[in-house]
Amino acid sequence: MFAGRYEYAIDDKSRVSIPAKFRETLSTNYDMRLILTNLDGCIVGYPYQEWLSIQERTSSPGAIRKETRTFLRYFYSGVSECPIDRLGRILIPQALKTDAQVKKNVVIIGMGKKIEIWAQERWDELVKKATADPDQIADIVSELGL
């Protein structure tokens, strides 16, 4: 499971280090490949085995709403397999950086079975929204049973 928050800078060649704790989880539970794509305003990274599960769920032959097909086109169009190099870095494709508004500084967070790479500015906005209303926070905590 991926959890935690780490701040990094992307180098001039569009590489970023994956936190050591995440690399340990990848090497223990998965192979060392991440599948990157765009989702919710950030770059999301799925371990290869988790990605296979997502492909299975989203490739059902049943009826899919038009809006869902449109979303899946966007979601799949950003997919890039990103192996982790010997120094623990991945190369982030320019198109993903552009869509997520990533420039230099990023926040990498663990979200259970995936990781998210946020532009620092977007992360700061998200934190402000998430913590702005104490009553809403109390409702969410209660709803989740935390």
- Tens digit of pLDDT for each residue in 80-126? 999 899 999 999 999 999 999 999 999 999 999 999 999 999 999 99
Q: How far is residue 111 from each of residues 5, 28, 45, 86, measured CA to CA in Å?
A: 10, 17, 10, 24
Helix residue ranges, H only, 9-133: 20-29, 48-58, 66-77, 94-99, 120-131
Neighbours of 45 (CB within 10 A): 27
Q: Quick check: 23 pLDDT over 90? A: yes
The answer to whether 91 and 13 have CB atoms below 8 angstroms apart is yes
Least confident of 4-18, 37-51, 122-136: 122-136
- In CATH terms, the superfamily for domain 2-120 is Transcriptional regulator MraZ domain (3.40.1550.20)
* 47-81 confidence digits (pLDDT tens): 999 999 998 888 876 667 888 888 888 889 989 99
